[in-house]
Structure formats: structure tokens, C-alpha cells
């Protein structure tokens, strides 16, 4: 139950990333920053997440896409 509660924000953010929701990029940057505290695997994942989500190409991708919720 604890592991599920800890992983829930990442799951929600990941679904948002798959749908290219604009809010999910910033949300996952925050989650990646928190992952930096989990040495050693979380640190590597956090660095990669921050690097990938702050690239100019990623910013353009999320700026162009309009979020369309699933009905």
C-alpha cells in the first residue's frame, strides 16, 4: 500500500506525458527532482528525466499539442 501511494504521482504524470498534456511536463520535472534523493537508481532516473524534459525539443512538443482528455 505504501509503495502504491509513493508510485501513484509518477503513474499519473506518466499517463499525462503519454497524452502530451502540458501540465505533465512540469509535474514530472518535480517528480524527477524528488527522484534525485533515491541513490543510486533514482539519481540516474532523476537526472535523465530532468535532462529529457528540459530540452528545447520537448518544450516545443508540449507547447504545440493541445490536451484532449479521453471521454
- Give residue-wise pLDDT tens across range 11-65: 999 999 999 888 999 999 999 999 999 989 999 999 999 999 999 999 988 887 6
**Domain total for the chain?**
1
pTM: 0.83
CB of 37 closer than 8 Å to CB of 51: no
What pLDDT does residue 65 have? 64
Distances (CA, A) of 11 to 4, 30, 56, 57, 70: 10, 13, 24, 23, 16
**Is residue 71, in this structure, part of any structural domain at all?**
no
**Is residue 13, in this structure, part of any structural domain at all?**
yes
Number of other residues whose CB lies within 10 A of the CB of residue 42: 15
Range of the domain at 28: 2-64
Number of other residues whose CB lies within 10 A of the CB of residue 15: 12
Amino acid at each position: 500500500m505504501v509503495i502504491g501511494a509513493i508510485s501513484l504521482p509518477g503513474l499519473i504524470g506518466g499517463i499525462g506525458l503519454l497524452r502530451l498534456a502540458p501540465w505533465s511536463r512540469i509535474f514530472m520535472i518535480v517528480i524527477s527532482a524528488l527522484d534525485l534523493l533515491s541513490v543510486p537508481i533514482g539519481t540516474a532516473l532523476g537526472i535523465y528525466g530532468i535532462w529529457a524534459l528540459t530540452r528545447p525539443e520537448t518544450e516545443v512538443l508540449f507547447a504545440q499539442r493541445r490536451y484532449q482528455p479521453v471521454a
